[in-house]
Amino acid sequence: VELREIGEFGLIARIRDRIGVLASQVYKGIGDDAAVSFLSPGMDLISTVDLLVEDVHFNRSLTCARDLGRKSLAVNLSDLAAMGGTPRFALISLAVPAETSVEFIDEFLSGFLEMGGNHGVSLIGGDTSCSPDRLFISVTLLGEGKREKLVYRDGARPGDDLYVTGTLGDSLLGLHLARNSSKLPSSQDEEFLLRRHFNPTPRVQEGRILAERSLARAMIDISDGLYSDLRHICEESHVGATVWAEQIPLSAAFRAKVPVPSDFQWQWALKGGEDYELLFSASPEKAGEILIQTRAWPCGVTWIGKIEPFSHGVVIRDRQGAVDPAILKGYDHFA
């Protein structure tokens, strides 16, 4: 069945039927001109939006609809995680070619609602349209937190330690494998790397703990690559930084599969966008508490460097010295 057969209102009715009972903080969900919901008492509103464009952010021949649904919410959850907020409500804007199958949309929604369910997020609204040829997905995520507890990009100070959750580069390598292999994944390593790209796990709980316990002073999620996102923190905080290349956490699967000698593996990991890990700075006084708090996290946390004065610049060092920034640039959509 193609979308054109059920029509726009058929699609909306289908989405609405999937929602079921409204969450406790939702008063009016899908089905009116706008949604009405409310925040917990004393909480501020956190808002973020992320856009996924077919043939720019994803390729329908490589990703399944369910993963795409999950990821379109996960990338937003990752932004909210980087503030240390609690996600609550989502709105989705979907432009879909009329010949798209209803099954594709159903699977997409299953993934989206599954990811939402994992993080207490309710789908409260959206808009649908046909698209002349490509799928466009824009998701708005709303959440809550106390403004004085949330963590921004501008709080880093010289002397702060720099940490990152999880491992870097897996996502880029997963995409590389998917693009360059027509076979199904043949090992657990490959499966892991593909999952890291097509079905990333946002660090929502981790970000919230760092914020609520005032452990992080500046935080960002890594979506453009570590070097590029570290520079965002440094620009907003008016500081510099040193990262020790050999400290960058790499997964065993990444080490086994990345097609470069071990001395250069970290370069891949740094360029790779879409890691959806958290990069944060913390006062050295918090080092002990960070160790204790994060010890049980499955993703782990790794110290990778220090915040420096602004004049120092943003420097990645390996055994040979400072690395040429030209090899570290992140992704620019218009370049």
Candidates 1, 36, 256, 291; binder of a second copy (CB under 8 A) is 36
Which tokens in the block code for residue 283? 């006062």
Is 32 a binding residue for a second copy by CB under 8 A? The answer is: yes
The Cα-based distances of 23 to 36, 88, 151, 235 in angstroms read 12, 9, 27, 39
Is 40 a binding residue for a second copy by CB under 8 A? The answer is: no
Least distance to a second copy from the beta carbon of 28, Å? 6
How many residues at the interface with a second copy, by CB under 8 A?
75
Candidates 67, 79, 161, 277; binder of a second copy (CB under 8 A) is 79
Candidates 58, 108, 152, 268; binder of a second copy (CB under 8 A) is 152
Residue type, 225: G
Antiparallel, parallel or unpaired: β 86-96 and 218-221 = unpaired
Candidates 1, 40, 59, 134; binder of a second copy (CB under 8 A) is 134
Residues numbered 227 to 286 that lie near a second copy (CB under 8 A) are 236
**Which C-beta is closer to a second copy: that of 57 or that of 257?**
57
Q: Using CA atoms, how far apart are residues 304 and 202, in angstroms rounded to an integer?
A: 20
Candidates 63, 86, 122, 138; binder of a second copy (CB under 8 A) is 138
Is 35 a binding residue for a second copy by CB under 8 A? The answer is: yes
Candidates 9, 17, 262, 324; binder of a second copy (CB under 8 A) is 9
Residue type, 66: R
Is 221 a binding residue for a second copy by CB under 8 A? The answer is: yes
Which tokens in the block code for residue 140? 């708005």
61-73 b/e (C-beta count within 10 Å ≥ 16 → b): eebebbbbbbbbb
- Tell me the window of 92-100, 159-167, 249-257, 314-322 that interacts with a second copy (CB under 8 A): 92-100
Cross-strand pairs, 125: 91
Q: Using CA atoms, how far apart are residues 321 and 329, in angstroms rounded to an integer?
A: 18
Which tokens in the block code for residue 156? 């880093």
Q: Among 167, 183, 201, 185, which Cα is nearest to 270's?
A: 167
Candidates 73, 74, 94, 172; binder of a second copy (CB under 8 A) is 94
Q: Using CA atoms, how far apart are residues 248 and 164, in angstroms rounded to an integer?
A: 8
Is 165 a binding residue for a second copy by CB under 8 A? The answer is: no
Least distance to a second copy from the beta carbon of 10, Å? 8
Candidates 22, 23, 93, 310; binder of a second copy (CB under 8 A) is 93
The radius of gyration of the chain's CA atoms, rounded to the nearest angstrom, is 21
Three-state DSSP at 306 gives strand
Is 23 a binding residue for a second copy by CB under 8 A? The answer is: no
Is 147 a binding residue for a second copy by CB under 8 A? The answer is: yes
**Which C-beta is closer to a second copy: that of 160 or that of 221?**
221
Candidates 143, 166, 174, 272; binder of a second copy (CB under 8 A) is 143
Other CB atoms closer than 10 Å to residue 158's CB: what's the count?
A: 17
